[in-house]
Amino acid sequence: MPGNASVHVVIANKLGLHARPAMAFAETAGKYRCDVSILRGEQKIDGKSVMEIMLLAATAGTELCIEADGDDADACLDELRDLVERGFDEDES
């Protein structure tokens, strides 16, 4: 039975969801079979689309809800949450 789960995250890296983090997010989500969506307020986008992620214009401190629906939803959300909390592994020095 498919799983449906969500997690709230806050964008931690100072440059927000620009091209590199958007690509990292979409590539990570793309490794999973589940559907992935990102919600920002009333806006809901495809979490596997780099362009849609960039159009969110999520800056540092923006709270997002990530939803996943499918057999591997929990594993997908765990990896995406970790990616966001690590600041997309960007060097902030």
Catalytic residue chosen out of the listed positions 18, 62, 70, 74:
18
User: Are 80 and 32 in contact, with CB atoms under 8 Å apart?
Assistant: no
- Give 40-56 as a DSSP string: ETTEEEETT-HHHHHHT
How many degrees, rounded to 5, is the angle at CA 51 between CA 46 and CA 54? Answer: 95
8 is catalytic: no
Residue 6 pairs in a beta bridge with 67
Assigned superfamily of 3-88:
HPr-like (3.30.1340.10)
91: number of Cβ within 10 Å: 6
Residue 2: what pLDDT?
A: 58
40: number of Cβ within 10 Å: 16
Q: Where are the domains of the chain?
A: 3-88
Split the chain (93 residues) into runs of 10 and give each run's mean pLDDT: 85 93 97 98 97 95 97 97 93 57
